Structure 1
Amino acid sequence: MAEPQPKSGGLTNKAALSCCSDPDPSTKDFLLQQTMLRIKDPKKSLDFYTRILGMTLLQKLDFPTMKFSLYFLAYEDKNDIPKDKDEKVAWVFSRKATLELTHNWGTEDDETQSYHSGNSDPRGFGHIGIAVPDVHGACKRFEELGVKFVKKPDDGKMKGLAFIQDPDITEASRTDGSLSQLRLFLNLSPFTLSAVSP
């Protein structure tokens, strides 16, 4: 009996697995090390990712000739960060799942500068997922801190997930003259996801 096709028209589990290969042994030590986001205002972004989301700034790298800075954040204990500069760089780049915020100098003062998040047309990048032990508890704290929500845990069809906005959002005019709010969605989910029946 053929595996039923998902209602969405996407791949079946079997079809998805048939597209995959076993990892080549030469990739054994590869790791997903970072996701890079361009930011407009490092003061807003660093405050949000450290104070609101509890990340730690691991390293800041400046590139004066190219006029940009990189900020690497992750869920790490700041006491584990090496003090030696070279050792620190090697340590940062060996971490799993860091967030690299890229700031092109001067964008914080340029009212015309904006970045497309992929959450409006043309769609692309969607969100960064943060696992939290208690979605409702985290959202209660975020509300108290004035964080803007795109979706609260009990809204919509997908219960138990929340989407919050990065504060470094901008508005850009679309060609039709309307405003399109560009935002970074942070997907907050519990550590254990259970299947949701339609």
Structure 2
Amino acid sequence: MPFTTESYPGVATDLPQATRGFVLNHSMLRVKDPQISLAFYTRVLGMRVLRKLDFPEMKFSLYFLARMQDGEQAPEDAGERTAWTFSQRGILELTHNWGTESAPEFRYHDGNAQPQGFGHICFSVPDLQAAVAWFDQNEVTYVKRPDQGKMRNVAFIKDPDGYWIEIVQADLLKQLGQPG
């Protein structure tokens, strides 16, 4: 029988018919200065901006970013690209509320200070040590390096707004959470 889900109290074992076709499209982070955040996510993490949407009446902008696969292309037409963006998986939405970039003391809660809430986003990389070398070269701030703490082979870095980003190499995590 094919795997469908791990089972715990509260887990529905049957996929509700009404949810067929649902896709987790994006997660959103609020950013103080889009220029600084876009530089980090595009230059350091290799993401591409798929679409920017401005809402002048509400004074905010949305930037939708993804880590595109080699050769993958989004539609050229802005409307088609918007629809395509909202059909993808693994999109990061950066929301900029206009004016925050010029407020010196302004900052967002990262979710990891008290009271805790949001924790982190995660990037899986093909080579953790090469990624760490790249982050070091780009003077990225670490919460935890892969060789620190009890959970080895997992790094946590910070983006310009202080949000945590977990960095993992999937094949190094086969024993994660296992006794021993």
Q: By the TM > 0.5 criterion, same fold?
A: yes
Question: For 1:17, what is the secondary structure of its paired residue?
Answer: coil
The letter of the residue matching 1:110 is A
2:60 is matched with: 68
Offset of residue 79 of structure 1: 6.1
Aligned to 1:52: 44
Deviations 1:70-112 (A, max 9, x none): 0000111586121112111110101101000000001000123
Map of 2:112 onto structure 1: 119
Residue 162, structure 1, aligned to residue 141, structure 2 = no
Q: 1:195 aligns with which of 170, 175, 178?
A: 175
Q: Which amino acid aligns with 1:113?
A: F
CA distance in 2, matches of 1:195, 1:48: 31
The equivalent residue for 2:165 is: 186
- Amino acid of the residue matched to residue 165 of structure 2? L
Letter in 2 for 1:107: T
State the alpha-carbon separation in 1 of the partners of residues 78 and 129 from structure 2: 40
Matched, 1:130 2:123: yes
**Number of paired residues?**
171
- Offset of residue 18 of structure 1: 3.1
Question: Aligned to 1:94, which of 76, 87, 91?
Answer: 87
Residue ranges of structure 2 left out of the alignment (5+ in a row) = 1-5
Matched, 1:146 2:139: yes
User: Alignment partner of 1:44: what SS?
Assistant: helix
Q: Residue 26 of structure 1: CA displacement?
A: 1.3
> Rg bigger for which structure?
1
Q: For residues 127 and 146 of structure 1, what CA distance do their matches in structure 2 show?
A: 20
Give 1:106's aligned residue. Answer: 99
Distance, in Å, in 1 between the alignment partners of 2:78 and 2:64 is 14
CA-based RMSD of the aligned residues comes to 1.8
SS of the residue 1:36 aligns to: strand
Indicate the residue corresponding to 1:8 in structure 2: none
SS in 2 for 1:80: coil
Identity %: 48
Question: Which residue of structure 1 lines up, in the alignment, with residue 3 of structure 2?
Answer: none
The residue matched to 1:70 in structure 2 has which SS? strand
Helix, strand or coil for the counterpart of 2:21? coil
Q: Secondary structure at the match of 1:133?
A: coil
* Cα displacement string for residues 43-94 of structure 1 (whole angstroms, at most 9, x for unaligned residues): 1100110100011110000001101000000111586121112111110101
Amino acid corresponding to residue 184 of structure 1 in structure 2: Y
